[in-house]
Structure 1
Amino acid sequence: MPVHVLYVAPYYSANILQCLDGLASLADVRIGLITHEPESTLPERYRGRVVGHYQVRDCLDAEQLIAAGKAFQAGWGRVDRLIGFLEQMQIPLSIARDKLGIPGMSEAIARNFREKNRMKAKLREAGLPVARQALIGSAEDARTFVREVGYPIVLKPPAGLGSRATVRATDDESLASALAELFVTPSNPAQAEEFVRGEEHTFETITIQGKPVWHSSSYYLPGPLQVLENPWIQYCVLLPREQLQPHAQTFRALNIRALQALGIGTALTHMEWFLRADGSMVISEVAARPPGVHLMPMMGLCHGIDMWQKWAELMVFDRFEAPPRQFAAGAAFFRGQGPGQVVRAVEGLAEAQERAGAWVVDRKLPQVGQPRASGYEGEGYALVKGATTEEVVAALRALVSSVRVVLG
């Protein structure tokens, strides 16, 4: 008997279609699509594989997801899975599952991952190392927190996505600017945290019904906040050949305890954490969805698998298998430099090709005339793969030291 799966795909971006490709590759799966797009725009390769379509105005509205789910339940007789990987959709999806009686992450658990203040409280209650934090709704709240922890502090939306809209305050003046930038009010609070200094890493974990079955850890080079604050800094992510290096192996126990404290079931989770100079470790935050910054294709390159297909199989069938890691991988992000809003020149491509081209397996190069990127990932990227971590580090260094994207 086929598994009836509803996949929520607001629009047809590259990642959303990669995941749909993974779903479509699974045997014994009946796929229904909930989307903002009309049925006529469904790419041709999915015709006949996607056997149901329901258009909504807003995939972040749980009531619209519930209406779509009821329509599929009426037409199909049952719905076995309701999935989507975008961070912003996790609470609406969970509300709809609860209302429709579909197995999967519940609203209470989704809020543990999505609402950062709630998350940190749960982790602290479990005795886990997290940065001191507070939910602030006014300037006085912020000053009270600063008196407790001192400068610098970090402010971010309580349901933020990665490091987007994250601001560091180092004194009273920058605190006032941060409060204004985030428009902090009692009805629009911000998450305030003490600033943690250290190497920043990710930790990806696959759990099946709460049991961890697979792990991976990567480096941010440098950390995302430093990149946000310094537009001239070039940015890389490194996935070592060693699946868990000694520092990550030590952190593994904290990761498992944190996921258990938050109530994880079956999921691929993405945790960010710090390794301080004294060897101590601090959990930053964790999301119950696949990671960004090209970690999905990079993990696939390291293991010789399609990680999106594996994620789809995990969420539909509660199973995951991967061969041992054979390679290292990395992503170099080409970030525009200068005060302008348009790419005026891309320099150093020939040198980059000569120095690192042998290791490049995928790329999207910046193009003259394209607008300045809004995020810290920049105007283009290259993915590299090598037999050793050292090869990949050298290739990443060559790429970011050779390529210069000039804005004007």
Structure 2
Amino acid sequence: MSDSTAEQREQVIVCKWNRELIATMLEHASEVYVILDGFDIEHMSPDWELLEGAAKVYRIGEFDSLEEIASVAADLSLRGVSGDRIVSFTEFSQYGAGYLSTLLGNSDDPLRHVSYRDKRLMKRRVAAAGVPTARWASLPDRADRGDLAAVAERLEFPLVVKPVAGAGTIGTITVRSAEELEPSLESLGPLPYFKSRQLIAEEFVTGRELHVDALWNGDEPLFLVVSAYFVNVLSVLEGLKESTADTGTPLDGSYVISPEDAPDLYKRVLDLHRDVNRAFGIDRAVTHLELFERPDGELVFSEIATRLGGAYVGSMLTEVLGQDIFEVVGEGLVRGALPKSRGEHRYVGAVHLRPAAPGRITSLPSEEEMLAVDGVLQAQRLAQVGSVVDFSHPSEWCVFVILGADTAEEFDALVARVSRELVVGVEAVESEGSPHP
């Protein structure tokens, strides 16, 4: 095969197992290469018959292994695979996918993929592009008093402190004053899931918290969906700390803002998003952008990921677009176009159901019970009876319910009904130290 012919082949590399995404890629791309890690193989039950259609399936221990990613890159290079279309939709395969792209010669910026995860590089790049963002400072060593003093001198309190490459607000805290900074960091403890222990401190931003999910073909979105959290994520965390069986927990979840209801907001978000994309060189990719809308209407960048939003976001997008989100994204990434489809409901959202207080779960609404409620489109149980929830972070998932309605009034009533009637039962856990079994 000549080099020119190889360059014309539609080649896609998919990181990690997702049946709908891989099946769509196999349908629309001429060559699909799949990389599965140990977690995929042990826990996700890959369809090996489906994977027989792939040009090659690589099995690695983890995406953070430089040696394993380098070996995959070498084999792909020997096969003449360019790697200009690498799809990675999970948080913990992002670094490996970016390193793979760099090894295959697809970037003259070796830190580009790092800036998609490390919030310090991320904020520096968007600020340089003129996009409003919170002032911040790096905390590479929380035990270094010189670093702590520099943060207290440079920034105005209150501050939000989080892992530099974190996700799901895990390990995120609010610090109200300079006097609280050192003891707050000492009490933070080890950071689960993350190998790096470095932190970023940023000034607290007030306003409505939004998330924007989009699929890009160059400078144009094939779809762009703006959603708002019912309650800002950090406020949910604060509410969980103060919740009791009597007060209950804050309303957790988000709702899609109809473009017909807020055309000006969509225009402003699109303009800002394009500036952000240019700062990172984002071209054909799926993105999940978090930002704040201040009371005066100014949009302030928070963070971005080149993947689908986590938790319930994918299910929400499926209902908005009227087709499985992974099928939509897979076809859009390969063809640069989307099928003409749209969901049935103008108002779509998701509610995360938690127990009223921390403890051991004693009962959960069944999926049949949840789907029997008029307006409930999807329901997913992530916790089990016997699981312990300790309200340590907002991403401690229990039950997702996806909702749809034709009017705003019907949607608000549905949210209230679901929150009231679909209950997660819990009992107190009496143990020393950690409440986990």
TM-score category of the 2 structures, normalised to the smaller one: 0.7 to 0.9
CA 1:176–1:388: 2 relative to 1, 3 Å: same
1:289-328 alignment to 2 at 5 Å?
A: 289-320=307-338, 322-323=340-341, 327=345, 328=347
Separation in 1, partners of 2:234, 2:155: 19
1:241-390 alignment to 2 at 5 Å?
A: 241-242=258-259, 245=262, 246-320=264-338, 322-323=340-341, 327=345, 328-340=347-359, 342-346=360-364, 357-365=373-381, 367-372=384-389, 376-377=394-395, 378-390=397-409
- Structure 2 unmatched ranges of 5 or more: 1-7, 241-248, 428-437
Q: Which residue of 2 aligns with 1:22?
A: 24
For the residue of structure 1 that corresponds to 2:28, the secondary structure is: coil
Separation in 2, partners of 1:261, 1:69: 27
Separation in 1, partners of 2:366, 2:48: 39
CA 1:24–1:372: 2 relative to 1, 3 Å: farther
CA deviation profile, 1:191-250 (whole Å, cap 9, x unmatched): 000011111001223222344443210011111111122222230210133367233333
Give the AA of the match of 1:86. Answer: T
Q: Which residue of 2 aligns with 1:127?
A: 130
- Structure 1 unmatched ranges of 5 or more: none
Q: Which residue of 2 aligns with 1:204?
A: 213
Q: How far apart are residue 146 of structure 1 and its match?
A: 3.0
Separation in 2, partners of 1:47, 1:259: 33
Give the AA of the match of 2:400. Answer: Y
Separation in 2, partners of 1:270, 1:130: 16
CA 1:363–1:314: 2 relative to 1, 3 Å: same
Q: How far apart are residue 318 of structure 1 and its match?
A: 4.0
After TM superposition, the structure 1 stretch with the greater mean CA deviation from structure 2, 234-243 or 116-125, is: 234-243
Separation in 2, partners of 1:349, 1:47: 30
Q: CA RMSD in A?
A: 3.2
After TM superposition, the structure 1 stretch with the greater mean CA deviation from structure 2, 238-247 or 227-236, is: 238-247
Q: Report if aligned partners of 2:160, 2:202 keep a CA contact under 8 Å in 1.
A: yes
Q: TM-score, normalised by structure 1?
A: 0.85
Separation in 2, partners of 1:122, 1:309: 32
**1:60 maps to which of 58, 64, 74:** 64
Q: How far apart are residue 398 of structure 1 and its match?
A: 1.8
Separation in 1, partners of 2:46, 2:364: 35
Separation in 2, partners of 1:179, 1:291: 28
CA deviation profile, 1:73-102 (whole Å, cap 9, x unmatched): 54x55355332211232232122122124x
CA deviation profile, 1:30-83 (whole Å, cap 9, x unmatched): 343433255995325525334532221112224312312433454x55355332
Q: Which residue of 2 aligns with 1:146?
A: 152
1:147-226 alignment to 2 at 5 Å?
A: 147-172=153-178, 174-180=180-186, 181=188, 188-226=197-235
After TM superposition, the structure 1 stretch with the greater mean CA deviation from structure 2, 58-67 or 209-218, is: 209-218
CA 1:19–1:30: 2 relative to 1, 3 Å: closer
Give the AA of the match of 1:360. Answer: V
Separation in 2, partners of 1:174, 1:126: 33
Give the AA of the match of 1:303. Answer: L
Q: Work out the percentage of aligned pairs sharing the same amino acid.
A: 22
Separation in 1, partners of 2:238, 2:340: 37
Q: Report if aligned partners of 1:266, 1:315 keep a CA contact under 8 Å in 2.
A: yes
CA 1:336–1:223: 2 relative to 1, 3 Å: same
Give the AA of the match of 1:55. Answer: R
Structure 1 residue 32 corresponds to structure 2 residue 48: no
Q: Report if aligned partners of 2:14, 2:32 keep a CA contact under 8 Å in 1.
A: no
Q: Report if aligned partners of 1:352, 1:398 keep a CA contact under 8 Å in 2.
A: no
Separation in 2, partners of 1:190, 1:263: 25
Separation in 1, partners of 2:368, 2:32: 47
CA 1:107–1:216: 2 relative to 1, 3 Å: farther
Separation in 1, partners of 2:419, 2:266: 26
For the residue of structure 2 that corresponds to 1:358, the secondary structure is: coil
Q: How far apart are residue 325 of structure 1 and its match?
A: 6.2
Q: Which residue of 2 aligns with 1:239?
A: 256
**1:392 maps to which of 370, 391, 411:** 411
For the residue of structure 2 that corresponds to 1:368, the secondary structure is: coil
After TM superposition, the structure 1 stretch with the greater mean CA deviation from structure 2, 39-48 or 386-395, is: 39-48
Q: TM-score, normalised by structure 2?
A: 0.79
CA 1:359–1:347: 2 relative to 1, 3 Å: closer
Separation in 1, partners of 2:368, 2:334: 45
Q: Report if aligned partners of 2:358, 2:389 keep a CA contact under 8 Å in 1.
A: no
CA 1:67–1:287: 2 relative to 1, 3 Å: same
For the residue of structure 2 that corresponds to 1:90, the secondary structure is: helix
Give the AA of the match of 2:254. Answer: V
After TM superposition, the structure 1 stretch with the greater mean CA deviation from structure 2, 321-330 or 145-154, is: 321-330
